[in-house]
Amino acid sequence: MIQDIAPHIFNNHFNFPSATSVDDLIFYFRDNKLMLVQNGDEPELPRRENLLQLDITGQSVFLFSINNQNCFWVEDLSVNGTDNYLFEEMNFFRTLKRKEMAWIGIVGTQLMNWYTQNKFCGNCGHKTIIQTNERAIKCPECSQTVYPRISPAIIVGITAGDKILLARGKNFRSNFYSLVAGYADIGESLEDAVAREVKEEVGIDVTNIRYYKSQPWPFSGSMMIGYWADADPNQLIVIDESEIVEAAWFTRGNLPNRPPNLSIAGEMIELFERG
C-alpha cells in the first residue's frame, strides 16, 4: 500500500526538536502546493541548507521524521527567484518513483491543511496557537484544543465462496470496480457502519463482519478501515444511484478492472483474486 515504504522509516512520533539542523527537510506551501527543488531525475524537498539565502519568517512547525531526518512546515518564506523551485499539489506525489518522498509529501500536505484550517478557534473565533508539546492547536482565549481530524471510513470486501461483490462508483476517475466504502457516522460502531453502508449502497445484508487492516488515506483526510463480510449472493442487488453506477458479483479469475494495490481496496481485491 502507499504507506508501505520500507526500508525507509517514517516516524510521526511528535518530538519537537529543540534545535534545527541544516539537514532538516523544509515544507513550504504556496496556494496549497508544496515547494520542491529539482535534483537529479526527480524533484525533492529542500533541506534547510538549500534555503539559507532565503528568509524563513514565521513559525517552523515540526511535522515528523523520515529516516531520522526531521521535517518542518515553514509558514512564511520570502522566496525570491522562485525559478529554481517547483510547486506541486498532493496528487503529484503519487507519481514519484521515490516512495518515501511521495509519502512524506502527501502526509505533509494533509498536516499543512489541518494547521491552516484551524488558524482560528471554531468555538470563539480567536487566533489559535500551534502547540509544541503535542500535535495540537490551542485557543489562548477559551482553551479549546483541537487534535488532528481524521475521518474514519469503512471499506468492505463482500464475498460468497469464489465470488466477490464489486461496485463502480459515480466519482471513480477510472473505469474500475472497487469495494463498497463509506464514512462511519456519529453514534455507530465500525461494524454498524459496514452493515449500514452495504445496505444503503447495494441493498443487501452481510454477516460475519471481520476486521482486515487499516490504511491512512491523506487524499481525503480519512482512515480507511478494511473489513471482510459474507453475503448470500442470491439477494437482490439494489444500488444507490446517487453514489453507484453498477454493482455485481464477479468470480475469481474473471475480475474487472480494479484500483492498484497502493490502496487497501486494491490490496483486498488482489488478495481475494489470489485465493
List binders of Zn ion among 136-175 (CB under 5 A). Answer: 139, 141-142, 144
| Least Cβ distance, residue 146 to Zn ion (angstroms) | 10
Instruction: Reduce the secondary structure of the chain to three states and give it as a string.
Output: CCCCCCCCCEECCCCCCCCCCCCCEEECEECCEEEEEEECCEEECCEHHHHCCCEEEEEEEEEEEECCEEEEEEEEEECCCHHHEEEECHHHHHHCCCHHHHHHHHHHHHHHHHHHHCCECCCCCCECEECCCCCCEECCCCCCEECCCCEEEEEEEEEECCEEEEEEECCCCCCCCECEEEECCCCCCHHHHHHHHHHHHHCCCCEEEEEEEEEEECCCCEEEEEEEEECCCCCCCCCCCCCEEEEEEEECCCCCCCCCCCCHHHHHHHHHHCC
Cβ nearer to Zn ion, comparing 52 with 142: 142
| Least Cβ distance, residue 126 to Zn ion (angstroms) | 5
Among 123, 145, 251, 257, binds Zn ion (CB under 5 A): 123
Q: Does 129 bind Zn ion (CB under 5 A)?
A: no
Cβ nearer to Zn ion, comparing 58 with 122: 122
Cβ nearer to Zn ion, comparing 128 with 159: 128
**First-to-last C-alpha distance (Å) of the chain:** 19
| Least Cβ distance, residue 147 to Zn ion (angstroms) | 15
Q: Which residue has the cell 481524521?
A: 150
Cβ nearer to Zn ion, comparing 123 with 189: 123
| Least Cβ distance, residue 111 to Zn ion (angstroms) | 21
Cβ nearer to Zn ion, comparing 21 with 145: 145
| Least Cβ distance, residue 128 to Zn ion (angstroms) | 7
CB 56 within 8 Å of CB 72: no
Range in contact with Zn ion (rule: CB under 5 A) among 18-26, 72-80, 107-115, 132-140: 132-140
Q: Say what the alpha-carbon torsion angle 259, 265, 270, 272 is, to the nearest 10 degrees.
A: -140
Q: How far apart are CA 201 and CA 241, in angstroms?
A: 8
Binding marks (x or -) toward Zn ion, 255..274, rule CB under 5 A? --------------------
# residues contacting Zn ion (CB under 5 A): 8
| Least Cβ distance, residue 120 to Zn ion (angstroms) | 8
| Least Cβ distance, residue 150 to Zn ion (angstroms) | 22
Cβ nearer to Zn ion, comparing 17 with 140: 140
Cβ nearer to Zn ion, comparing 141 with 246: 141
List binders of Zn ion among 62-121 (CB under 5 A). Answer: 121
Cβ nearer to Zn ion, comparing 147 with 211: 147
| Angle value at C-alpha 51, between 6 and 88, nearest 5 degrees | 55
| Least Cβ distance, residue 62 to Zn ion (angstroms) | 23
Q: Which residues sit at the interface with Zn ion, rule CB under 5 A?
A: 121, 123-124, 126, 139, 141-142, 144
